Amino acid sequence: MTFALVATAPGTRARAGVLTTAHGAIETPVFMPVGTRGTVRTQTLDQLELLGAPMLLANTVHLMLRPGQASFERTGGLHGWMGWRGSILTDSGGFQVFSLEHARPLDDDGATLRSGPDGPLIRLTPEGSIAMQRAIGADVMMVLDECVPSTSELGRATAAMERTHRWARRCLAVRGDADQQLFAIVQGAQYPELRRQSALELASIDGFDGYAIGGLAVGESRAEREDLTELVTGLLPIDRPRYLMGVGTPLDLIEAVHRGVDMFDCVLPTAWAQQGQVFTSLGRVDLRRGVHRVADDPLDPACDCAACTRYGRSYLHHLIKCEEPLGWQLLAFHNLRFFVQLMRTARAEILAGTFAAFHARMREALALRDPRDPPGRKPRVKRPRPGAC
């Protein structure tokens, strides 16, 4: 299992690489659809294979709660159980400890969770998280970390960062001879000095195969997030992959690629599709708006997915207003395709040495809204709830 840096674009930190796992080679930068419980919501395996995403994200805590570690030990892991032939990355559960309603306060040993208001207690420790990820058979495992709001006061952010470092060492110690990659997670909330300390300390520990930037998109501004991302990537080893966890919109992804990030995941493509929010080459479209009720033109003339080639906006508007599952499925596939294709295009521009100009164009293009979106009050777009899949 290796990571090879192929190219860096002039005038930017954008990188093209190849991450090789037991389930294939992954060209970076790459977007990973989120399959929290072993499924990407509304999408079949045939659709995911058509999408061409080489890697999915699954969540350790959700799979620990159901079906449980014993199920994966019996079936031989998530790949065969769900029928997925590509690679899988598992989140360690740190964000779920932070976000789930039934989590208990942490201590130095780990965290206690309930599967629901009356569910059984489950103990999550660094050692238990790695054992669960090994049972899942993840190609890339994450260390257990403590995530806090990015706006946390300095003392709390410092304590969480230091606990994350201790847990990272414990995860590394029990990794054993597993042929699975293990990524450390940089924490430090909104404080540049903590982010610097975290990145340097984790990079000094021998044994990590890659590094993630965690604890962002949980309260800070976009400008703060971009500055912190740029700071951290400048301190991490050049020869290891860099993963920005849980971020974000297409514009967020392009800005992070520009700053040297290789890997991404986010629930927005599927979660916002349920609300009729669609990312297109013409700008973001809100299919709940009445202007689309009698609009029979394609959703995105530059896209060849089923939502754009077989149906008009009027029909898609109808599906969303009626809350028909078909609408969610069609728009989720379109959004996922938009994210995956955006990363492929970014890679091609990096290899061609033209990413800097591409980044300048996309900063404007990805900020657009649909040109026919009428002025006035717009329906509120709900951000996915923390821990949502």
Which residues are marked as active site?
91, 265
Q: DSSP secondary structure string, 62-108?
A: HHHHTT-HHHHHHHT-HHHHHT--SEEEEE-SHHHHHH-TTBPPP-S
Q: Which two tokens stand for residue 134?
A: 């090994």
Cis peptide before 248 (omega within 30 of 0): yes
* Three-state secondary-structure class, residue 204: coil
What is the spatial order of strands in the sheet that 2-8 belongs to?
2-8, 15-21, 24-28
* Separation CA 267–CA 206 (nearest Å): 32
DSSP secondary structure letter of residue 155: H
* Separation CA 103–CA 122 (nearest Å): 10
| Contact status, residue 21 vs residue 87, Cβ threshold 8 Å | yes
What residues have CB less than 8 Å from 346, skipping those under 6 apart?
A: 14, 29, 254, 257, 355, 358
